[in-house]
Amino acid sequence: MRIELQKRQAASGVFSYLSPFLALALTLIAGAIMFSLLGKNPATALYTYFIEPLTDPWSRDQIIVKATPLALIAIGLAVCFRSGNWNIGAEGQYLIGGMIGATLPVLFHEWQSPLLLPLMMAMGMAGGALYAFIPAILKSRFGTNEILTSLMLVYIAQQIVDWVVRGPWRDPKGMGFPGTKSFNSSGILPDLFKHSDAHYGAVFAILTAVIIWFMLSKTLKGFEISVLGQSPRAGRFAGFSAKQMTVFAFLTSGALAGLAGIAEVSGSVEKLDDKLSLGYGFTAIIVAFLGRLNPLGILAAAFILALSYIGGEAAQISMGISDRATRVFQGLLLFFVLACDTLIHYRIRITSSLKGKT
Amino acid sequence: MSIQKRTKPVFPLLETRGITKIYGELRANDSVDFSILKGEIHALLGENGAGKSTLVKILFGSLQANEGTVLWDGVPVHVKSPSEARALGIGMVFQHFSLFEALTVAENIALSFEADVKLEDVSTKASKLSEQYGLPLDPSALVGDLSVGQRQRIEIIRCLMQDPSLIILDEPTSVLTPQEADILFETLFRLRDEGRSILYISHRLEEVQRICSAATIMRHGKIVDSCDPREETAGSLASKMVGSEIGNVVRQVGAVDGEIILQLNNLSMPATHPFAVSLKDINLTARAGEIVGIAGIAGNGQGELFGAISGEDKQDDSASVVILGHEAGFLNISERRCLGAAFVPEERLGHGAVPEMVLTDNMLLARHASDDTTFKKMGSLNVIARAAITNATKRVSDIMDVRKSAENPPAGALSGGNLQKFIVGRELDRNPQLLIVNQPTWGVDAGAAAHIRQSLIDLAAEGSAIIMVSQDLDEIFEVANTIAVMADGYLTKPVAASSMTREQIGLLMAGGPKASGGVAA
């Protein structure tokens, strides 16, 4: 007996939309079973996980703070992945974007001007884009594998930022801790609400999602991205250049990762320190696929993933559920989303080697 | 149906009774009864969508019938998968090859064996078979570097490795020259004389008449006739297939002296990879109203020539390609389209169309530059004008009679003939002044092929120039005013079609004069 995945003739339209909700429901059921096996009340656990963070203002802010860089980076990655360019190094572009964006407030600490923030954001984007340009040019000129080069550049970026905050840019009055001086107020991204941790980066993420969604679904550029991703030879026939697309896709995703970096530095940390690399650039790969490479879907996916992080922390604190259990729970979510998506396009067929009925 | 009687009684090798296959409302096969005797070459004829592929897939186990039985050697069998079919002794050579481009010939062949086999053994056996049956092939070559014709040989040899008693061939000669086809026929005759049966699917009726001793004709999922093709004419077979007489292609004969539309001046291009063909000093002039047929064996530089004229590969010398008086050597394919040129490549799926994308997207694929103002709006934002594209897609589907299951299906869901009609129609709809078309009717049924050829002739009659690369000599003689032959990257001087014979072309194809010198006219 053998189990096969067989492609369906047509994917059900209704279920394509229902799939994420179905996956969520299945995760809740499986999660409830897991929590009761652990001897916890499943209802309380799920409440702590998914509802409580939404009712508490502090947790709500934290969700937005975490979802913002995830969404910004994942939207850029969606452009890359749809065009068949595998940028795995968003974490590096995020770090370099944060560092280059911090140049002005660090070097000209006293400069106060309404121009400062826009310049910081622009420089952050430029920094991320330039850093992404390295694997792009290596791929389009020399045919190197962008997965390897972009990934390796992450480690280089981590070392560069680490050196900068311990060496030339270290705050002399920082008690020896690695990190720059805190920025002056005109270099800090305003809060979204009064006395909130959530900053305007969230607005950037939503605007970016709308703009990139429009580009991908309504314009010739978006069409070009899909064609080159699905069939490079047909793309050539259409007059599209795969090499230029590699550069475009990397610059776009690098710029957005850079924007995420400087928004995090300027809006959350308010200085550059050695704790900027939290793995957002890698988690964003999951977010991009959970959101099906659709910018609007990515907003939702970033929110849900951030919720599961914050909810997981809350469950650890208030219910003593172990860190491992919360990670299993996140794994379940991912598993069900991917399984539901797969089963929309494929059916499971059990074939037997015995002769008989089909 | 008489076949040479031996002392033993002749009974069918394979017989079907009441095979029915239903897709939704459509009866793709409707109570099909037919049989193949041992040691015969049996033709299966029918238009696109007649149900031939469905029937063959049921025999080969890749589809399951809703009703009916299959008898193998008089015993009912239930073939549930291709591997079961192979175990019974049924081999198949598909029209669309299933080969991994990154692997070698021997590796591809080894993949079809269930158990572990040594690659060297496969190589040796493949070489032996290829020699024995006159199908030259290098087992260590990478499939990605081989031409369509060579790839087909892999499929045939892969099939022969299984020592089948029934071999199903789907459109085997569509990529071969007459000489190559003759060799294939010799192979088939040898296989038949060894007592094997061959089920032969083809749209080339002359061929069927020549090599098949029996024919079954399908229409709309049913068997409508069976006959001995040697006692029929091509015309009578064709009308049995389509149910009515098909119109002959009409062409005006006469000298063409319109303005020059395309000129190639000493066009040379180095080979881009080790197995590609370099183009050598090609000169060609195409005038308004002219159809230049370019004959040649697969893999002699036709694909490279297409790439060079289309601008998929640019030239080093701007003057080597001149389109409507504009030096186009440095221009890309979009810019050449804007000069009035249109292109139909050989491969439908993955080159002329993106299989997963719907027809409207595939319309945009080839025309976003040439139809700049209608297909796009809002200036440099380049927003796609869906309504205009949908209209154009409808128009093309109606004019070319593209049959499809839905309003706007993915290109990959259309049959080969219907997709080809769409791809050709997509370009004709622009009324291009220059059309370069590579293998316009490869694997397309007789009705669709006639439709496509007629529309090419009509386009030329309106004053456009057409370069038609084809390996089908019947097609070239039917459509072209002038004929040139490609061999080893050289192109012979074009000569009026009326003064060429098949034999002359065959000689040139086999590598006659090396330079674009003259041909005996």
At residue A100, the pLDDT reads 97
Task: Round to whole Å and give the CA distance between B290 and B260.
Answer: 10
Please, which pLDDT band fits residue B516 given cuts at 50, 70 and 90?
Answer: very low
Q: Which of B64, B72, B337, B354 to mutate to test the interface with A (most CBs of A within 10 A)?
A: B354
How confident is the model at residue B5, as a pLDDT?
Answer: 45
pLDDT, greater one: A16 or B102: B102
Residues in chain A within 8 Å Cβ distance of B351? 231, 233-234, 237
What is the least distance, in Å, from the CA of A159 to any CA of chain B? Answer: 39
Whether the pLDDT of residue B514 is over 50: the answer is: no
Query: pLDDT-based confidence at A155, cuts 50/70/90?
Result: very high
Instruction: Collect all residues of chain A within an 8 Å Cβ-Cβ radius of residue B383.
Output: 218-220
From the list B352, B356, B364, which residue is nearest A230 (CB)?
Answer: B356
**Pick from B64, B366, B383: CB nearest A237:** B366
Question: Considering CB atoms only, which of B345, B361, B369 is closest to A223?
Answer: B361
DSSP reduced 3-state for B278: coil
Q: Are B20 and B66 in contact (CB under 8 A)?
A: yes
Token readout for B422 is 């769409």
Q: Do the strands A2-7 and B26-37 form a parallel or antiparallel pair, or are they unpaired?
A: unpaired
B352 in Cβ contact with B330 (< 8 Å): no
B70 Rama class: left (phi>0) / alpha (psi -120 to 50) / beta: beta
- pLDDT value at B359 more than 90: yes
Is A211 at the interface with chain B, CB within 8 A? Answer: no
For residue B122, give every residue at least 6 positions away whose Cβ sits within 8 Å of its Cβ, in sequence order, or none: B106, B109, B110, B113, B139, B161
Q: φ, ψ for residue B128 (rounded to 5)?
A: -65, -50
Mean pLDDT value of segment A236-246? 96
pLDDT tens profile B166-183: 999 987 876 676 777 787
Angle between helices A220-230 and B359-367 (to 10 degrees): 100
pLDDT per residue as tens digits for the range A94-128: 999 999 999 999 999 999 999 999 999 999 999 99
Distances (CA, A) of B333 to A293, B341, B469: 30, 9, 18
Q: Using the predicted structure, report yes or no on whether residue A228 has a pLDDT greater than 60.
A: yes
pLDDT at B2: 46
Q: DSSP assignment of B393-405, as one string? A: HHHHHHHHT---S
Contact check, Cβ <8 Å, B364/A236: no
Q: What is the pLDDT of residues B58-117, one digit of tens each?
A: 999 888 888 899 999 888 998 888 888 988 999 988 877 788 888 889 888 888 776 677
C-alpha to C-alpha distance for B512 and B521, rounded to whole angstroms: 15
Scanning chain A, the segments in alpha helix (DSSP H) are 13-37, 42-46, 52-55, 57-82, 90-101, 103-107, 116-142, 146-166, 201-218, 220-230, 232-237, 242-263, 280-290, 295-319, 323-345
Q: Are residues B384 and A355, on separate chains, in Cβ contact within 8 Å?
A: no
The pLDDT value recorded for residue B115 is 65
Which residues have C-beta within 8 Å of that of residue A283, sequence separation ≥ 6? Answer: A70, A305
Contact B383 A219 (CB under 8 A): yes
| CA distances in angstroms from A97 to A101, A157, A161, A299, listed in the order given | 6, 10, 10, 21
Cα torsion B438, B444, B449, B455: sign: negative
d(CA A308, CA A329): 8
Average pLDDT over residues B408-429: 91
| Gap between the Cα atoms of B433 and B417, Å rounded | 24
Cα separation, A49 vs A313, in Å, equals 8
Chain B residues within an 8 Å CB radius of A351: 80-81
Q: Smallest Cα–Cα separation from B30: which of B68, B59, B61?
A: B68
CA B417 – CA A271 distance, rounded (Å): 64
Average pLDDT over residues A161-173: 93
Strand-pair partners of B263: B285, B322
pLDDT at residue A249 tops 70: yes
Distance CA B496, CA B491 (A): 15
pLDDT digits (tens, 9 = 90+) for B188-241: 898 898 889 999 987 677 788 889 999 998 887 889 888 998 888 777 777 777
Q: Calculate how close chain A gets to B262, using CA atoms only, in Å.
A: 20
Q: Give B494-521 as a 3 state SS string.
A: CEEHHHCCHHHHHHHHCCCCCCCCCCCC
How far is it, in rounded angstroms, from Cα A171 to Cα B178?
Answer: 83
Report ipTM for this prediction.
0.84
Q: What is the mean pLDDT of residues B393-405?
A: 91
User: Crossing angle for the helix pair A242-263 and A116-142, nearest 10 degrees?
Assistant: 150
Predicted confidence (pLDDT) per residue in B445-484, tens digit: 778 888 899 999 999 999 999 999 998 777 888 899 999 9
Distance from CA of B79 to the nearest CA of A (A): 9
Please answer whether residues B144 and B97 qualify as being in contact, where contact means their C-beta atoms are separated by less than 8 angstroms: no
Q: CB–CB of B87/B111 below 8 Å?
A: no
- Beta bridge mates, B383: A219, B377
> Cβ contact (<8 Å) for B354 and A234?
yes
N-to-C CA span, chain B? 46
Report the SS3 class of residue A189: coil
Burial environment of residue B283 by CB neighbours within 10 A (0 to 12, 13 to 18, 19 or more)? middle
* Lowest-pLDDT choice from A5-9, B74-78, B119-123: A5-9
Q: How many beta-carbon pairs below 8 A join chains A and B?
A: 68
Distance CA B378, CA A215 (A): 13
What pLDDT is recorded for position B251?
59
Can you say whether the dihedral through the CA atoms of A236, B95, B237, B213 is positive or negative?
positive
Task: Give the residues across from A346 on adjacent strands.
Answer: A7
The mean of the pLDDT values for chain B is 85
